[in-house]
Amino acid sequence: MEVIEIYKAWLRDDAVNVPNIDVEAFDLTNKAYAQVDCLACGQCCRTTVTTFTIEDINKASKAIGISKKQFIHKYLFLDLDGQYTTISVPCPFLNLDDNKCKIYEARPHACSSFPHTDRKNFLARKKVHLENVKFCGITEYVLGGLMGKDLL
């Protein structure tokens, strides 16, 4: 069985029984960051779009010295869910040479909280985790750890 299918089956099971799953996922996320070099990977920024709140737009546009209107016009579109989303993949703020974010200090919350494995209500984001595990070593480490398996 393919690893992604193992995760799907485990997360689909309504009987997922990990005591204190949010605390456990938080701890596993911290351990994963010690083992996974995000700058060596960059797949989150290379393969997915990200969303910006109005607050994120204010912060990022100020950081690069353009108006909010110019920022939206140049980098974002309003998606069907009513969210401002980056217009391209890879992310327009990704430096392709070193995988560093050009607006790191002003990056949107969706990026600063990625891969969302250390947030409360872990199981409420099952779909997000299943998408992220396809390319994110941290998500893979956390899911494997929660399942009690070393699938890396």
Report how far residue 28's alpha carbon sits from residue 119's, in angstroms, rounded to the nearest whole number: 12
pLDDT in tens, 46-56: 999 999 999 99
Give the confidence band of 138 by pLDDT, cuts at 50, 70, 90: very high
pTM: predicted TM-score of the whole model, two decimal places: 0.86
pLDDT in tens, 83-101: 999 999 999 999 999 999 9
Domain boundaries, the chain: 3-43+114-147, 47-112
Instruction: Compute the Cα dihedral for 99, 103, 105, 111 and give only its sign.
Output: negative
